[in-house]
Chain A
Amino acid sequence: MISTDLNTYVTFGYLSCGVGYLIAYMTGALASSVRKWMLAFLILLWCVHTSAIGLRWIESYQMGIGHAPLSNLYESLIFFAWSMALALIVARFRFGADVLVLLGLPLVVFTMAYTFLLDHSIKPLIPALQSNWLVAHVIACFLGYAGFAVSFVAALLLLVSRASTGLEKRLPSHHLLDEIVYRSVLVGFPMLTVGIVTGAAWADYAWGSYWSWDPKETWSLVTWLVYSAFLHARLARGWTGRRMALLSVLGFAAVLFTYFGVNYLPGLHSYF
């Protein structure tokens, strides 16, 4: 299928873009013209990525089993990578920190590369997934995850920058990194909330219960609780810096376990 080939090209594109950023950074050549070209390349890749997702959607209709390409681990990983790339581009424009892209791209590349190991054929939708809630639920969850991923990257940078004075000079200011850690969660958190609420509405419709303490549900709640503790610590207790960064890392660990780890526990979300 063309969409699968496109995904392969996009993966190597992201990889070369990441390598380009790294070389530019190591040689200290993050001059404005280089930055501009690298960013333009990233945006171009993201557009191709978008069209690959759209094409897969069209291909599924041509096969007569049309459904949104969000129905299994392969498709959700592609969408997760797409969301993270989008979040990185938005964060780059908002905060002007290229290092964020440098450290965020490996996450995107790794996620895309992981899909090489999976079955990429388009399968018809099983009855449990035949619902209009699917699209809203999955999109909201992954946009939330993407926000948390950006926060995680900034948190790592902040922790590294605090630990090493040598790197500190080459990284954005602590204040800016702290802002990115906080503001990305501020965007991700309501998205995750929408994801959980739409998931609950769907569960009520499909299983007759809006909450069943299924491991995926429970872990998404754990993630939500960690990030709400994060926001309360920031807004009401005025926490900043290292403690916020550590909470952000903890939250992203919960995100990753919600996404990947839960598959090792028995539950209802077995198709993801």
Chain B
Amino acid sequence: MSKSKKSDPSSSGVGSLFLGLTSFFTSVRTTIGVLFLLAAASVVGTIIPQEVAAEQFQRGWSSFAYRLIVILDLNSMYRSWWFVLLLVVLALNLIGCLFNRVPMISGEWRGIGRKHSFSFDYPDAGAVDAVRASVTDRMTGLMRTSPQTTTVDHGVNLVWVRDRFQLFGFPLIHLGIVVILLGGVIGLFYGVKGHVQIKEGETKGSFTVTPSGETRPLPFQIAVDKFTLTRYSTGEPKEFRSDVRLLKNGNVALQGSILVNHPLTYEGISLYQADYRPVGLKDVTLVATDASGEETKLALRPEVPVQLAESPYQLRLLSPNPRPTGQSTVPEISVEEPGQKPKRISIVKKDQTLAKLGDKELRFAGYSLLYATGLQVGYDPGTPVVWAGCGSLLVGFVLALFTNHRGVVVEIRRTASGSSVHVSGRSKRLRKEFREKIELAIRDGMEKPQGR
């Protein structure tokens, strides 16, 4: 911003505004400022609870803080206008800097306008050919590349260049960030996230969008065959698994399991294991013992009547009536006998003796739960764009940090007594070390032919 004030006051208003904006968006000061603002804002977002209705802040927060939260959307800060604006300024700033920098790369690639960071002379070297041979030998060994040689009047120029592609480090890193932000924007506009809860044995073809809460249809149906919760011997959960079939027009399009860290993707829509909930009983196992002590196992499923063998009794597991309080209900069994009023028995504890029916004693042996699995539904066409950006960022880092664009120019000129040598060089990284190495190699190369 400070730069915009410096623009020429005599130029037209529009022109100076344009210049001011240009210098604002190409300035690294802007970058540093925006980076700090983004950091500070992000911190605020981790302190103030996010995605919570603003009214909830009326209690426990001062009225000033409450008003600030409402005005600045601090309860959904990362989607607020001003946070997005900061990201837009960052993106424009990055693009501005790229526009400034990228056109120079082709020139630097060809070696135009290269500034040498050091140079030194040897006014009194030996015979041209001998110096040339020994310097070439030393330098080629050091730079691990052969020189470009140009013959000029009274001498020769030797140029060694390494790792020119480091020039692409800067644009790849900064372009990567812009692409990641672009991917985020695509996801914001075209992506959708939601949740669906499906009971075992049920099929659903729609989901609830988060955070809006609206219901949207899926292009396919999800049939949940089974949900399994496996535990380690220590009791900690080992695996959450939903076995599903995805149906398209009534036909199975895809069958598979959804686990944590193992989503299922079909037609670009991914399904993730998010949570689970027991919603009822899958079955109850009873044991009937007759007078002789012989045991018969009975598995009762909700609302499916089962005849107790060699008796007039019919047993039925009642579907639990959901209670408004959400408490778990005690499972009940209805015992029906022709001509009699059905009798209800509540199951309270394991190995409970439930009833004596004729000569048979009925005992509760076990149960299995019916689960509903919670699946997260995600569709985000921006994701591949984000990965492309990350790739560009990481390749850029490798080029910028693990390669070193460096070059040496050795100019040998014939003089009356032999030759003079002018050495100049530059290095993007480790300048001092590079200079020392070059000096050592050149000095070594100078001394050898003279000593011969």
Contact = CB atoms under 8 A, between A and B. Distances in A.
B135 interface: no
A218 B78 CA distance: 10
Interface string B386-416: 1100100110010001000000000000000
A9 interface: no
Contacts of A194: 394
Contact of A208 (B31, B46, B240, B378): B378
A229 interface: yes
B261 A206 contact: yes
Contacts of A221: 39, 42
A190 interface: yes
Contact of A124 (B29, B43, B238): B238
A131 interface: yes
A270 interface: no
Contact of B39 (A197, A204, A210, A225): A225
A89 interface: no
Nearest to A257: B43
Contacts of A173: none
Interface residues of B, number: 44
Interface string A219-230: 101100110110
Interface residues of A, number: 41
A193 B272 contact: no
B32 A205 contact: no
A170 interface: no
Contacts of B193: 208-209
Given A130-B260, A194-B394, A215-B46, A207 B272 contact: yes
B272 A225 contact: no
A236 interface: yes
Interface string B123-142: 00000000000000000000
B36 interface: yes
Interface stretch (B57-65, B108-116, B229-237): B229-237
B50 interface: yes
B42 A193 contact: no
A232 B260 CA distance: 40
Contacts of B393: 193, 197
B439 interface: no
Contacts of A24: none
A211 B181 CA distance: 12
A201 interface: yes
A146 to B, nearest CB: 16
Interface hub of A127, A130, A131, A200 (most chain B Cβ within 10 A):
A127
A207 B270 CA distance: 10
Nearest to A265: B46
Given A197-B393, A207-B376, A127 B234 contact: no
B46 A186 contact: no
B239 interface: yes
Given A123-B236, A229-B31, A233-B32, 9 more contacts: A123-B234, A124-B236, A128-B261, A130-B261, A190-B401, A207-B376, A221-B39, A226-B35, A265-B46
What 7 pairs between A and B have smallest CB-CB spacing?
Answer: A208-B378, A236-B28, A127-B260, A225-B39, A208-B272, A229-B35, A190-B397
Interface of A: 65, 123-124, 126-128, 130-131, 186-187, 190, 193-194, 197, 200-201, 204-211, 213, 215, 218-219, 221-222, 225-226, 228-229, 232-233, 236-237, 254, 262, 265
